[in-house]
Amino acid sequence: MRTLQVALGERSYPIYIGPGLLGRGLIGEHLAGGRALLVTNETVAPLYQARAAAGLAGCDWRAVVLPDGEAYKTLETCQRVYDALIEGQFDRTATVVALGGGVVGDLAGFCAATYQRGVGYLQVPTTLLAQVDSAVGGKTGVNHPQGKNMIGAFHQPRAVIADTDTLATLPERELSAGLAEVVKYGLIRDAAFFDWLEAHAEALLRRDPAALTHAVAESCRNKAEVVAADEREAGSRALLNLGHTFGHAIETHTGYSGWLHGEAVAAGIAMAARMSTALGWLDERDRARTEALLQRLRLPTAPPPIPLARYRALMRVDKKVQGGRLRLVLLRGIGEAVVTAEFDEAALERTLREHAA
Ligand code: NAD
Ligand code: MG
C-alpha cells in the first residue's frame, strides 16, 4: 500500500492506494466515532458492497443504492441521499462513504457538504478516473439541465481509499478513459512519469497490479501537489484542464453520448499538443510522442467531424474564458504546461481547421 498526504492545513487528509484495501478496516478507522451512510450505485453495489461491508465491520452503518449514470448526477438524486440521512436519524457526526466512480463521488460529496451544513465524507473510488482524479481535491457537485457541474461546493474528504483491485471489473473503455487523465499529469508537470508511462503502457492495459498502483499513486501525488498549491483554482490548478477546453467542445457537440470524458480529453490533449507545436512551443518529436502514447493506450487523438464555426463557438462557452479572452492550457515541452490567453489565434484556427467537418 502507498500512502500520500494532501497538505491543506487542518483539512489535510491521507490517500491510501493499493490492492485489497476495501476489506481492511480502513473505512471504519476514518468514521471519527460516528455512523456511516454508504452511498453507491446499482452497478457497483453487487460487485463491491460486501467487501466495503467487511471494512465497516463493527460500525453502525446503512447503505443507499442509486441508479447508475451521469444522467442521475442531479439534485433529485441527492434528495434520495438526504432522505436516507434523515430517515436514519444521522446527525452532524455522520460520515458519508462514497463507493463508486466519479458520479457517485461528486454527488455523495456534495450531499456531505450540504447535509446539516456539512458532515465528513470518505472517497472510496472504484474507477480509474475517480482514483486518479475526481476523488482527490474536494470538488463536489451535480449537474443542472443547463450545464455540467453547475451546482457544487468545495468540500475535502476525510480520506481517500483507492483499492486498485476494483479496477479488475472496469470495462476496457473506462480504463483507457482514466489513463487519459494519467497521461495528463505527466504532460503538465512530470516528465519522468511520462517516460515511465511510455515504458509501461502495455502493463497498464493488462492491469498489472504493480503498474496500476504506481500509476494511481503518481497521479494522486501530482494532483495533491497541484491542489495543495491552489485549492480553489485561483491560478495554477487550471493546469489540470489540459485538453479539457478542446474536449468539452467534443462532449457538448456529441451531447455527452458516444464519447467518454477521458476519450474527449485525449483528443483534446492531442489537439492542444498540435496547437503548441504550431506555435513553435512544443517540438515535433514530443508532439509525436504524446500522440503515440495516447494511441497505444487505445485513446482517440482527433475529434469527430465538427463544423468549424460550431467548434469555435463551443470553445468560447468553456468556463476558461475570462474577460472575453479564451485561456488555454498549452505545452512548452513534455512535463511543462502553461495556462495562457497570450497565443497567436492563427495557431488555434489552424488546429481547428485541420479537423473541421
Ligand atoms: P462513472 O462514475 O459514471 O463510472 C463509469 C461507469 O463504471 C459507471 O457505469 C459505473 O457504475 C461503473 N463502475 C464504477 N466502478 C466500477 C468497477 N469497479 N467495475 C465495473 N464498473 C464500475 O464515471 P467516472 O469516469 O468514474 O466519473 C465521471 C464523473 O466524474 C463525471 O461526472 C465528472 O464530472 C466527474 N469528475 C469530477 C472531478 C472532480 O474533481 N470532482 C474530476 C473529474 C471528473
Ligand atoms: Mg477531466
Distance, CA 32 to ligand 2 centroid (Å)?
31
CA triplet 201, 303, 149: central angle to 5 degrees? 85
pTM, to two decimals: 0.96
Centroid of ligand 2 to alpha carbon of 47 (angstroms):
25
Query: 10-16, long-range: CB within 8 Å, 24+ apart, which pairs?
Result: 11/138, 11/156, 13/156, 13/157, 13/158, 13/159, 13/160, 14/159, 14/160, 15/136, 15/159, 15/160, 15/162, 15/220, 15/224, 16/159, 16/160, 16/161, 16/162
Mention every residue, 6+ apart, whose C-beta is less than 8 A from residue 237. 226, 227, 229, 230, 231
Residue ranges around ligand 1 (CB below 6 Å): 41, 43-44, 47, 68, 70, 73, 100-104, 106, 126-127, 129-130, 133-134, 137, 139, 149, 166, 169-170, 174, 261
Give the per-residue pLDDT at 320: 60
Count of C-beta atoms within a 10 Å radius of residue 213: 18
Mark the binding-site residues, compressed into ranges. 68-73, 102-106, 126-127, 139, 148, 166-169, 181, 244, 261
Residues designated catalytic: 117, 139, 181, 223, 233, 237, 241, 244, 248, 261
From the CA of 109, give the closest atom in ligand 1: 41
DSSP 8-state secondary structure symbol assigned to residue 340: E
Specify whether the CB–CB gap between 124 and 36 falls below 8 A: no
Tell me, in angstroms, the distance from the centre of ligand 2 to residue 48's CA.
25
**Ligand 1: which atom is nearest the Cα of residue 167?**
18
The closest alpha carbon to 215, from 199, 228, 226, 227, belongs to 199
Q: What is the pLDDT of residue 255?
A: 82
- For residues 79 and 115, the answer to whether their CB atoms sit within 8 Å is no
Residue nearest to atom 2 of ligand 1 (CA): 101
The rounded distance, in Å, linking the Cα atoms of 17 and 124 is: 10
Q: Are 95 and 123 in contact (CB under 8 A)?
A: no
CA 215 – CA 200 distance, rounded (Å): 9
Ligand 1 center from residue 139 Cα (angstroms): 14
Pocket test residue of 43, 149, 154, 182 for ligand 1, highest count of atoms within 8 A of CB? 43
- Between CA 133 and CA 40 the distance in angstroms is 18
Q: Which three cell numbers stand for residue 226?
A: 497541484
Could you identify the residue written with the cell 468514521? 31
SS3 268: helix
Residue in the structure block whose three cell numbers are 491552489: 230
Other Cβ atoms within 10 Å of 255 Cβ, number:
8
Classified as helix, coil or strand, 34 is coil
Report CA-CA distances (Å) from 341 to 63, 173, 268, 274, 279.
Answer: 46, 33, 17, 17, 13
- Report d(CA 166, CA 244) in Å as an integer: 26
Which protein residue has the closest C-alpha to ligand 1 atom 44? 134
Cα separation of 202 and 212, whole Å? 11
- Give the pLDDT of the chain (357 residues) as one tens digit per residue: 999 999 999 999 999 999 999 999 999 999 998 999 999 999 999 999 999 999 999 999 999 999 999 999 999 999 999 999 999 999 999 999 999 999 999 999 999 999 999 999 999 999 999 999 999 999 999 999 888 899 999 999 999 999 999 999 999 999 999 999 999 999 999 999 999 999 999 999 999 999 999 999 999 999 999 999 999 998 999 999 999 999 999 998 988 778 999 999 999 999 999 999 999 999 999 999 999 999 999 999 999 999 999 999 988 876 566 677 899 999 999 999 999 999 999 999 999 999 887
What's the 275 CA to ligand 2 centre distance in angstroms?
20
pLDDT of res. 323:
74
Residue with CA at minimum distance from ligand 1 atom 17: 170
**Residue closest by Cα to atom 11 of ligand 1:** 43
Which pLDDT value is given to residue 145?
87
Nearest CA to 157 out of 135, 178, 190, 172 is that of 135
Cα–Cα distances in angstroms (integers) from residue 266 to residues 41, 151, 276, 299, 304, in the given order: 27, 26, 15, 6, 12
ipTM: 0.99
